[in-house]
Amino acid sequence: MREIVFDTETTGLDPKSGDRMVEIGCVEMVGRVSTGNTFHAYYNPERDMPSEAEAVHGLSSAFLSAKPVFSESVDDLLAFLGEAPLVAHNAGFDFGFLNAELERLARPPISLDRMVDTVALARKKHPGAKNSLDALCTRYGIDRSHRVKHGALLDAELLAQVYVELKGGRQIGLELAVDSTRSPAPKPQTRQSEIDRRVERPRREPRPHVASAEELARHAKFVAELKDAIWTR
């Protein structure tokens, strides 16, 4: 099954108050294995960038002013998304911004039926634990040392690894399918030299394991001298 793991960066927290999406990063997965196909774009929000948001993702108004507006590449984005389920961390946030941008262009919204929220998956699998992306990367041993600031494509790539772990781990389905086109592995054959060595090996006489008469007599004497033996009670 084809799935898209994605993340967004924005000017703030609420698209209804005028905040805009400024970056999106998408990672394609098939059978929960990354295909290497990605989509990444920056967008000119046509407004200022609050300092609080810039501190999170490092995207300045000056940098974004040279980028295209969302409408210029919306078709490329929608073509990449296709009809696949869309996986995001706290997915309601990302869906909200993506659909707000589509609404501004009078485009149909992306159905929430396609939403897969990894926060909800993490809360179910690890109730009471921290479920931020950083915390989950730590839990699953996923390297995020190169993540200095939030970045949509980098976060989507990390989330794709987390998603696999949340759904059961990297070993799911590994080598379970039998390839009918593959010839059966040949049985290991014993080399003639090994047979010869076994034939030439001298035969050992069995070692005696029965106690001698002398040993039996010493044992009987030892038992007779025991005081308050448990078997006499």
Hey, which residues are catalytic here? Answer: 150
Which of these, 38, 74, 42, 71, lies nearest to 58 by C-alpha position?
42
Q: How far is CA 177 from the centre of its chain?
A: 21
User: Rounded to whole angstroms, how far apart are CA atoms 101 and 15?
Assistant: 9
> 198: part of which helix (H) or strand (E)?
helix 192-200
First to last CA, the chain: 75
Cα dihedral 134, 137, 141, 146 in deg (nearest 10): -70
Cα separation, 106 vs 196, in Å, equals 84
Question: In the numeric block, which tokens belong to residue 12?
Answer: 């703030």
